[in-house]
């Protein structure tokens, strides 16, 4: 039995997480869910977005399955997502984007994995006003050799373990010569240790253009925190939208699995959110727990339901979309 901390999250979180949990339970994987609060829901209940009991649960279990959390765009309300990644040193954020049979998009043969550095860069949280009038603000980007080395090493090891051929490092070292320069220099050193994997480097702005025009040239992409955040939404757009992309946040001794998307307040409580991203995050979690058979079972059933296109949410089929719960049940039926 695996103990997993379950955070259902805000907005569409509870509705999609309920389906994901039901499906994982039906897969035969032996998971004991320990439910915990975080985000707006926790703030409204306990006056804090991350209660101690939630941290104690993650401390114990070292694996968490999390729905999206709302982060208010204001001072004083910190991002719990960023905080959890920093607290547990979840330095690798792995976001696979693959074309789905049955989802109509411009390309049908995309298979890109974004490996985003998750603890440093411009999201290190070092921001302040420089003047009392608040007319100059400063943000510090922190890049370390250690942080760069371990994330690029992760990307190459991921490529080798998953039978992938190429790693592209994306950077802006032409302008940010110290921070991005250190990242690129370190990436080149790591690449030399993996002669069996092709290595390429691209400037981030050119990467965006190439990714839209010729995405098939990308395989594994490794980059710094903010570039990875933006690029993974771009790859989501290429394969059919944010409702489809999972993310694994991996550290040396803890891991947190979630969707790339947020709490989607515009569609909350309407039973139309696509549960695919969190279900695929669940598949990544099952693989992490070595429950490979259950992971394959869930993935195969999900692929079948999406390919048939009958029991899918409206973002995948605007003519005949069904509810989140109906899509969830169809996946359970497909597993049987
Ligand atoms: P969002 O990802 O919540 O939504 C962007 C658009 O995508 C919306 O139109 C939404 O309806 C759609 N969408 C997202 N998920 C979907 C799904 N599963 N099915 C169908 N459509 C889906 O981004 P946002 O609106 O910028 O952010 C809302 C809140 O979520 C903010 O408070 C933000 O800080 C937070 N957020 C949290 C996480 C996280 O918890 N990891 C990630 C991103 C944003």
- 233 counts as catalytic: yes
273 close to ligand 1 (CB < 6 Angstrom): yes
Task: Say how many C-beta atoms besides its own lie within 10 A of residue 35's C-beta.
Answer: 13
256 close to ligand 1 (CB < 6 Angstrom): no
276 close to ligand 1 (CB < 6 Angstrom): no
Q: Which residues, 6 or more positions from 146, have their beta carbon under 8 angstroms from its beta carbon?
A: none
Residues 234-267 pLDDT 10s: 999 999 998 999 999 999 999 999 999 999 999 9
Distance of CA 187 to the CA centre of its chain: 22
Residues 49-106 pLDDT 10s: 899 999 999 999 999 999 999 887 665 566 788 888 889 999 999 999 999 999 999 9
pLDDT number for residue 44: 87
The single residue of 177, 178, 188, 205 carrying the catalytic annotation is 205
Q: Which CATH superfamily is domain 105-239 in?
A: Isopropylmalate Dehydrogenase (3.40.718.10)
- Domain(s) of CATH 3.40.718.10: residues in the chain: 1-96+241-335, 105-239
Q: How many CA atoms lie within 13 A of 59 on its CB side?
A: 7
Cα(80) to centroid(ligand 1), Å = 15
- Per DSSP, 93 falls in state E
pTM of the model: 0.94
Length of the chain: 336
The single residue of 10, 37, 219, 229 carrying the catalytic annotation is 229
Label residue 37 by pLDDT band (50, 70, 90): very high
> What integer is the mean pLDDT of 35-42?
92
Written as six digits, the tokens of 123 are 């999201």
Cα(191) to centroid(ligand 1), Å = 35
Q: Which CATH superfamily is domain 1-96+241-335 in?
A: Isopropylmalate Dehydrogenase (3.40.718.10)
Q: What is the pLDDT of the chain when averaged over all its residues?
A: 94
Task: Say how many C-beta atoms besides its own lie within 10 A of residue 319's C-beta.
Answer: 6
d(CA 325, CA 330): 9
Cβ atoms of residues 156 and 164 within 8 Å? no
- CB-count exposure of residue 204 (10 Å: 0-12, 13-18, 19+): buried
315 close to ligand 1 (CB < 6 Angstrom): yes
Label residue 230 by pLDDT band (50, 70, 90): very high
Distance of CA 313 to the CA centre of its chain: 21
């Amino acid at each position: 039995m695996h103990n997993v901390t379950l955070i259902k999250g805000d907005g569409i979180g509870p509705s999609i997480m309920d389906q994901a949990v039901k499906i994982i339970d039906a897969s035969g994987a032996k998971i004991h869910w320990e439910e915990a609060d975080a985000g707006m829901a926790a703030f409204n209940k306990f006056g804090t977005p991350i209660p101690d009991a939630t941290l104690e649960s993650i401390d114990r279990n070292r694996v968490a399955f999390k729905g999206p959390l709302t982060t208010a765009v204001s001072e004083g309300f910190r991002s719990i997502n960023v905080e959890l990644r920093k607290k547990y040193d979840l330095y690798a954020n792995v976001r696979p984007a693959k074309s789905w049979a049955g989802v109509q998009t411009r390309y049908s043969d995309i298979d890109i994995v974004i490996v985003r550095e998750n603890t440093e860069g411009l999201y290190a949280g070092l921001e302040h006003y420089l003047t009392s009038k608040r007319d100059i603000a400063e943000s510090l980007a922190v890049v370390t050799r250690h942080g760069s080395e371990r994330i690029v090493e992760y990307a190459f090891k991921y490529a080798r373990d998953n039978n992938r051929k190429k790693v592209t490092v994306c950077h802006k070292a032409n302008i940010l010569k110290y921070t991005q320069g250190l990242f690129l220099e370190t990436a080149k050193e790591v690449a030399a240790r993996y002669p069996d994997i092709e290595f390429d480097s691209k400037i981030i702005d050119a990467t965006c253009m190439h990714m839209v025009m010729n995405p098939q040239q990308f395989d594994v992409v490794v980059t710094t925190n903010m570039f990875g955040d933006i690029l993974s939404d771009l790859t989501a757009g290429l394969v059919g939208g944010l409702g489809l992309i999972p993310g694994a946040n991996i550290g040396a001794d803890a891991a947190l699995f979630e969707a790339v998307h947020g709490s989607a307040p515009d569609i909350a409580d309407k039973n139309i959110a696509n549960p695919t991203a969190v279900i695929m995050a669940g598949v990544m979690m099952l693989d992490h727990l070595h429950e490979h058979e259950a992971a394959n079972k869930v993935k195969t059933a999900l692929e079948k339901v999406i390919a048939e296109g009958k029991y899918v949410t409206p973002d995948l089929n605007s003519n005949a979309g069904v509810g989140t719960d109906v899509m969830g049940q169809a996946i359970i039926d497909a597993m049987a």
